[in-house]
């Protein structure tokens, strides 16, 4: 089952684009050169909020990337305390998104949303390891289909990003590769999985949300 067809530009982007466009028009009456910058920002905003379709390799044994970007960290870590899971170490794969990446986030597995927990925090550079604990974040606990293991996906706000948006609620069913949220303007996504999951990527790899396989269940 593939994600339903949607507009190429996510609706969230139009509000910002309209604001930049209107400001550009007013600036054009005073400073033409500055108004050109405003029009460029309008175009960039629409491009930033692009929401392309993806070809998800549906596989119940695979854990798909939730974000476009670069794998910046692979380690063993405890899941966020606020999700109230057993505090045992899990494998963690982190994907950093810069402002040029698509910022729509997608489910790494098919399953049911067990919990969504938002936590206020700082806005440090999302590529830093301490951003996992210090920054604003939203954690999504997904119980994999067919009584599979739980996966935790954490959207982490970055130095520029200051708004995390979610598209789903607790008890919703997600299909692998389905959109569940976005983060504005540069950020990071951490995916926690069972410790024995087999890693299929390396630090520095460029990955695509809804398509790239990060790991597989053992």
The DSSP line for the chain is: -PPPP--SB-HHHHHHHHHHHHHHHHHHTT-HHHHHHHHHHHHHHHHHTB---------TTEEE-SSSEEEEEEEEEPPPGGG------EEEEEEEE-TTS--EEE-SSSEEEEEEEEE--B---TTSTTHHHHB-EEEEEEEETTT--EEEEEEEE-SS---EEE---TT-EE-TT-EEEEESSSEEEEEEE-TTPEE---TT-EE-TTT-EEEE--
Residue of 3, 65, 110, 187 marked catalytic: 187
Cα separation, 86 vs 136, whole angstroms: 22
CB 66 within 8 A of CB 212: no
| Sequence-ordered list of residues with C-beta below 8 angstroms from that of 18, at least 6 positions apart, any chain | none
Query: Catalytic residue at 212?
Result: no
Cα separation, 74 vs 94, whole angstroms: 6
Active centre residues (catalytic): 187
């Amino acid at each position: 089952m593939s994600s339903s067809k949607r507009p190429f530009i996510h609706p969230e982007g139009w509000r910002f684009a309209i604001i930049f466009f209107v400001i550009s028009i007013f600036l054009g009456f005073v400073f033409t050169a500055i108004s050109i910058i405003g029009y460029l920002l309008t175009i960039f905003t629409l491009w930033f909020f692009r929401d392309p379709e993806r070809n998800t390799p549906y596989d119940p044994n695979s854990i798909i990337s939730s974000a476009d970007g670069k794998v910046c960290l692979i380690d063993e870590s405890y899941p966020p305390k606020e999700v109230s899971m057993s505090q045992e170490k899990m494998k963690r794969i982190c994907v950093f998104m810069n402002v040029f990446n698509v910022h729509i986030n997608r489910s790494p597995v098919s399953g049911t949303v067990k919990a969504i927990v938002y936590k206020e925090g700082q806005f440090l550079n999302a590529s830093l390891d301490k951003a996992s604990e210090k920054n604003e974040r939203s954690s999504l606990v997904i119980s994999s289909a067919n009584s599979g293991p739980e996966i935790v996906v954490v959207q982490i706000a970055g130095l520029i990003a200051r708004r995390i948006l979610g598209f789903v609620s607790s008890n919703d069913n997600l299909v692998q590769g389905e959109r569940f949220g976005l983060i504005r303007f540069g950020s990071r996504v951490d995916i926690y999985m069972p410790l024995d999951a087999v890693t299929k990527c390396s630090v520095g790899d460029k990955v695509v949300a809804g398509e790239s396989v990060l790991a597989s269940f053992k």
